[in-house]
Chains A and B, each alone.
Chain A
Amino acid sequence: GAVVSQHPSRVICKSGTSVKIECRSLDFQATTMFWYRQFPKQSLMLMATSNEGSKATYEQGVEKDKFLINHASLTLSTLTVTSAHPEDSSFYICSASGRAPGYTFGSGTRLTVV
Chain B
Amino acid sequence: AQSVAQPEDQVNVAEGNPLTVKCTYSVSGNPYLFWYVQYPNRGLQFLLKYITGDNLVKGSYGFEAEFNKSQTSFHLKKPSALVSDSALYFCAVRDNGDTGGFKTIFGAGTRLFVKA
Contacts and interface: CB of A to CB of B under 8 A. Distances in A.
Interface of A: 36, 41-46, 57-61, 93, 95, 102-108
Interface of B: 36, 43-46, 60, 88, 90, 92, 94, 97, 99, 101-104, 106-109
Chief secondary structure at chain B's binding surface: strand
B43 A44 contact: no
A46 B104 contact: yes
B20 to A, nearest CB: 20
Contacts of B97: 60
Nearest to B98: A60
Contact of A42 (B92, B104, B109): B109
Nearest to B59: A102
A44 B102 contact: no
Contact of B44 (A41, A57, A60, A105): A105
Most B C-beta atoms less than 10 A away, residue of A46, A57, A104: A46
24 contacts: A36-B44, A43-B90, A43-B106, A43-B108, A43-B109, A44-B36, A44-B44, A44-B90, A44-B92, A45-B104, A46-B92, A46-B104, A57-B102, A59-B101, A59-B103, A59-B104, A61-B103, A93-B44, A95-B46, A102-B60, A105-B43, A106-B43, A108-B43, A108-B44
Contact of A60 (B36, B46, B102, B106): B102
Contact of B45 (A42, A59, A105): A105
Nearest to B45: A105
A108 B36 CA distance: 15
A108 to B, nearest CB: 6
Nearest to A94: B44
A78 to B, nearest CB: 19
A45 B105 CA distance: 6
A50 to B, nearest CB: 13
